[in-house]
Amino acid sequence: MKFSIIIPVYNRPDEIAELLGSIAKHTSSYNIEVIVVEDGSVRNCKKEIQSFYEKINLKYIFQENKGPSAARNEGAKYATGEYLIFFDSDCIIPDEYFKNITQYLEQNPLDLFGGPDMADESFSPIQKAISYSMTSILTTGGIRGGNKKLDKFYPRSFNLGVRRDKFQILKGFSEDMRFGEDMDFSMRGFEAGFNVGLIPNAAVYHKRRTKFSSFYKQVFGSGTARIDLSYRHRGTLKLVHLFPSLFVIGVPLSILLAIFIHWTFILPLAFVLIAIFIDAFLSMKSVKIALLGVWASLIQTCGYGLGFFFAAFKRQINPTQKLEAFKDSFYE
């Protein structure tokens, strides 16, 4: 079983070195090739990857800046493995990753699969807080790889595997989408009748954003993508996807009602925030990270909800308009 790992990278030389270092630990036991696609970076990673050519079957490709979808598709052209595995450059691969997916695929053949993400102990408090907000059942409904979930699991491009022949059938990632291209890819996999699934113990450490402002832009983009996806794939919009928008309406409404009518109207919001704090504390074992987790959860929910409203409004005005949020600062 041969794996072709494809990593798009943009201006993140330090991260790619750490990711390749974690992959190099597996190359003696598994048939692995790595394809790094530099997507028009100003700060390229040529210097950082030099030392890995002796440790990894490594290919380095440079293209003009076209976005992560185009970079992934370009990398796939050079792949020779039975399975393509896509990682984001800000991931670190645990020691048991390839052992776990090999054992799982031998017993449960999948055409398209993914795994969860988690925070490493070395991550900053903000990264841990964002990781919590993006993985908790309270904030995501478990749809990003949790054991409990309110919608089916769609593999995401930070940790996504697909048979190479199936990737070719789907013709790769949609290059006309600014956000949500990995969800679109997975949805097309389901629609094509592929065997799609979650490998629960195939988690990766995912650093995510290092600033709350960048995190807000990311989740705002995810909210806009949800509307775009609902037009491309009818029937995929679920009740769980509406919760952030309802929260955006409910927060100011409960505050205004508490101020002008009765203070008890604030209790539902207070209950939600306390529940998130307790859950974050039990998960992270830190008061500081739990408090940051509450703030990250507010940013995530409100950012997603506002992006959802923004995209829905734009679609009503012009149903054929393509949605592109924060176009000029996508990578920042």
Q: How confident is the model at residue 326 (pLDDT cuts 50, 70, 90)?
A: very low
Q: Average of pLDDT values for 267-282? A: 96
Residues 291 and 6: their CA atoms lie apart, in Å, by 36
CATH code (residue 53): 3.90.550.10
Are 159 and 117 contacting, i.e. CB atoms less than 8 angstroms apart?
Answer: yes
Does residue 205 have a pLDDT over 80?
yes
Q: Residue 55's domain spans which residues? A: 2-123+145-209
Which amino acid, 21? G
Tokens of 195: 């065997």
Show Cβ contacts of residue 133 under 8 Å, excluding neighbours closer than 6 positions.
139, 293, 296, 297, 299, 300
- Helices in the chain by DSSP H: which ranges? 13-24, 46-49, 68-77, 97-107, 125-135, 137-140, 164-170, 181-191, 212-232, 243-260, 267-284, 287-317
140 falls within a domain: no
Model confidence, pTM: 0.89
Query: Considering the domain boundaries, does residue 93 fall inside one?
Result: yes
Q: Is residue 138 part of a domain?
A: no
Quote the pLDDT of residue 329: 39
The number of distinct structural domains making up the chain is: 1
- Is 251 among the domain residues? no
Residue 29 lies in a domain: yes
Spatial distance between the Cα atoms of 38 and 10, rounded to a whole number of angstroms? 6
CA atoms within 13 A on the CB side of 125: 12
Give me the pLDDT at residue 315, please: 83
User: Pick from 277, 253, 248: which is nearest to 266 by CA?
Assistant: 253
Query: What average pLDDT does this structure show over 180-204?
Result: 96
Please indicate, yes or no, if residue 149 is contained in any of the structural domains.
yes
Single-letter amino acid code for the residue at 140: T
Tokens 């330090």: give the residue: 14
Q: What is the mean pLDDT of residues 20-43?
A: 93
- Contact predicate 138/130, CB 8 Å: no
Q: What is the pLDDT of residue 316?
A: 82
Of 150, 148, 141, 139, give the one whose Cα is nearest residue 297: 139
Take residue 95 and report the two structure tokens written for it: 């020691």
Average pLDDT on 239-245 reads 87
Quote the percentage of the chain above a pLDDT of 70. 92
Most confident by average pLDDT, 35-39, 134-138, 207-211: 35-39
Cβ–Cβ under 8 Å, residues 295 and 303:
no
- Domain assignment present for 223: no
Residues 39 and 185: their CA atoms lie apart, in Å, by 20
Q: Residues with Cβ < 8 Å from 171, sequence gap 6 or more?
A: none
Q: For the residues 62-90, what does the mean pLDDT come to?
A: 96
Q: 64 lies in a domain?
A: yes
